[in-house]
Structure 1
Amino acid sequence: MDTDAATDRMHPSAPHAGWTYLMDMDGVLVHEDQPIPGASDFLAELRRTETPFVVLTNNSIRTPRDLRARLKQSGLDVPEESIWTSALATATFLASQRPAGTAYVVGESGLTTALHDIGYVLTEKDPDYVVLGETRTYSFEAITTAIRLIEGGARFIATNPDATGPSPDGILPATGSVAALITKATGRDPYYVGKPNALMMRSALRAIGAHSEHTLMIGDRMDTDIVCGLEAGLQTILVLTGISTTASVELFPYRPTLVLESVAALVGRTSDPFDS
């Protein structure tokens, strides 16, 4: 099987005269399943002007097809091929490191599907990797198996370092929290592929044939989206519809290129977002 399958699912775009947009999903386009005001108009303008864009998410639970359906229910039209997840980035990374390898996976369909698509065999018997992703049903048995396999020599990979995730009832433990538990038990740190690792953005750029000098990143978090964009060599826009606030921006030693209230402020100016 073609080990570039995770990348090939997104077809390279023709060169574009303006900007290419990378953007986070939660906190930029939606809150849970509620669209952020102006997000639909912003996406419609990108499609109408044929501006290349990719929606990025550290969430590895769902496949791009599932995420497209979720966004569609929220009134946002994002093509499946314009969605790039930490699961896809992880699969692309593993395909480049150890083609046709084996892995024990703690995660859901978004991650297992991505690994199957690059030709990986999922097994509990002497795997090359333990791959930890996000799930709403972390199992003590699965975590114990992961610890024992890492102790036995399996390499430790995690899709992203996010310690918590949102839910209607409050925060939930996420991949980073469970990774910390496994690290405490094994003394082995995982390699995180998702944001803020700039590798995730670079893999998305390669997937659509874009270049960093003409790309900008829109995010709601200084500690993941903005630093990741900076380290990938992109222009960055922080929107104040998610985690970071005007006050919290001042706590960081780096700054975004632009701070906006929301993506609604970009409607009508996507060709040159920095033209005030």
Structure 2
Amino acid sequence: MTTERTPPECWLTDMDGVLVHEEKALPGAAEFLDRLLEKQRRFLVLTNNSIFTPRDLAARLTRTGLHVPEESIWTSALATADFLTSQLPGGSAYVIGEAGLTTALHEVGYVMTDTDPDYVVLGETRTYSFEAITRAIRLVGRGARFIATNPDVTGPSPEGPLPATGSVAAMITRATGAEPYFVGKPNPMMFRSAMNRIQAHSESTIMVGDRMDTDVVAGIEAGLETVLVLSGSTAAADVTRFPFRPSRILNSIADVIDLI
């Protein structure tokens, strides 16, 4: 027996593969965002990317023709800062990452230091430094707790895949024996912190994503209705390989508009 869900009041949507692809807006994305605003629905655009601040990402979306206010963007860096401040307010961290992560931690009152930090926090960066990774390994070895923004092992580039946070985290784990706590997708913690941000309830929130192994599974674990769109990483034939299913499978964000 399935329980009747209330009509969706709040929306969480992935960014790459759902709204944009290779710096171009996907068909229906602008209309989807317009409908959310017209119906006064609370929403957040989510990304596991921790390199950029919400302001950077809002500007990137504007260049594609999509207008999303920076306060409507939730990154794995923001979720990580939210998690850390709930665990140890005003703590300290040795951070490997870029402005998206350092800004998020600074804004919640964290001190960034390489001297006896409470945490080593690993995020995405386009220039991983062997020296910084070595320092992280030594600090974790001395007892700093190990946090990573997301487990993605590769990221895209025009030339092909790049090593990402998960790959560097694996290097630190092999050297220390310490497994990181990953805050971003597929950890449902990222969705719960996003819902707290917009005062959403799981019974009336829909998650739209393009990946079964991150967006859909985390949405299910957070108790959300899930919509898989086939405009990104997952093809229809891939869905049967997973032991869970989204609530709906649609071709693209253009098909989601009628659900709002």
TM category (shorter chain) comes to over 0.9
1:36-185 equivalences in 2 (<5 Å): 36-185=26-175
CA distance, structure 2, for counterparts of residue 142 and residue 40 of structure 1: 40
Is 2:44–2:74's contact at 8 Å kept on the other side of the alignment?
yes
- Counterpart residue identity of residue 168, structure 1: P
- What secondary structure, in the 3-state scheme, does the structure 2 residue paired with 1:250 have? helix
1:24 corresponds, among 14, 38, 63, to 14
Gaps of 5+ in 1: 1-15, 272-276
CA deviation string 1:195-222 (max 9, x = no partner): 0000000000011111000001000000
- What secondary structure, in the 3-state scheme, does the structure 1 residue paired with 2:238 have? helix
CA deviation string 1:142-195 (max 9, x = no partner): 101100100111000000001111112211111001000110111110000000
CA distance, structure 1, for counterparts of residue 237 and residue 114 of structure 2: 47
Give the aligned partner of residue 6 of structure 1: none
CA distance, structure 1, for counterparts of residue 126 and residue 224 of structure 2: 33
Gaps of 5+ in 2: 1-5
Is 2:8–2:206's contact at 8 Å kept on the other side of the alignment?
no
- Structure 1 segments of 4+ aligned residues over 6 angstroms from their partners: none
- Alpha-carbon shift at residue 85 of structure 1 (Å): 0.4
- Alpha-carbon shift at residue 270 of structure 1 (Å): 3.2
CA distance, structure 1, for counterparts of residue 248 and residue 177 of structure 2: 40
CA distance, structure 1, for counterparts of residue 88 and residue 256 of structure 2: 41
2:221 corresponds, among 195, 211, 231, to 231
CA deviation string 1:237-258 (max 9, x = no partner): 0000111111110000000000
TM-score normalized with structure 2 length: 0.96
CA distance, structure 1, for counterparts of residue 47 and residue 151 of structure 2: 12
Equivalent pairs: percent with the same residue? 66
1:219 correspondence with 2:183? no
CA distance, structure 1, for counterparts of residue 133 and residue 206 of structure 2: 37
- Alpha-carbon shift at residue 17 of structure 1 (Å): 6.5
1:241 correspondence with 2:231? yes
CA distance, structure 1, for counterparts of residue 171 and residue 22 of structure 2: 27
Number of residue equivalences: 255
- Counterpart residue identity of residue 19, structure 1: E
- Alpha-carbon shift at residue 224 of structure 1 (Å): 0.3
- Alpha-carbon shift at residue 71 of structure 1 (Å): 0.4
- Alpha-carbon shift at residue 236 of structure 1 (Å): 0.3
Give the aligned partner of residue 183 of structure 2: 193
TM-score normalized with structure 1 length: 0.91
Give the aligned partner of residue 5 of structure 1: none
- Counterpart residue identity of residue 142, structure 1: A
- Alpha-carbon shift at residue 32 of structure 1 (Å): 2.5
CA distance, structure 2, for counterparts of residue 142 and residue 88 of structure 1: 22
Is 1:32–1:166's contact at 8 Å kept on the other side of the alignment?
no
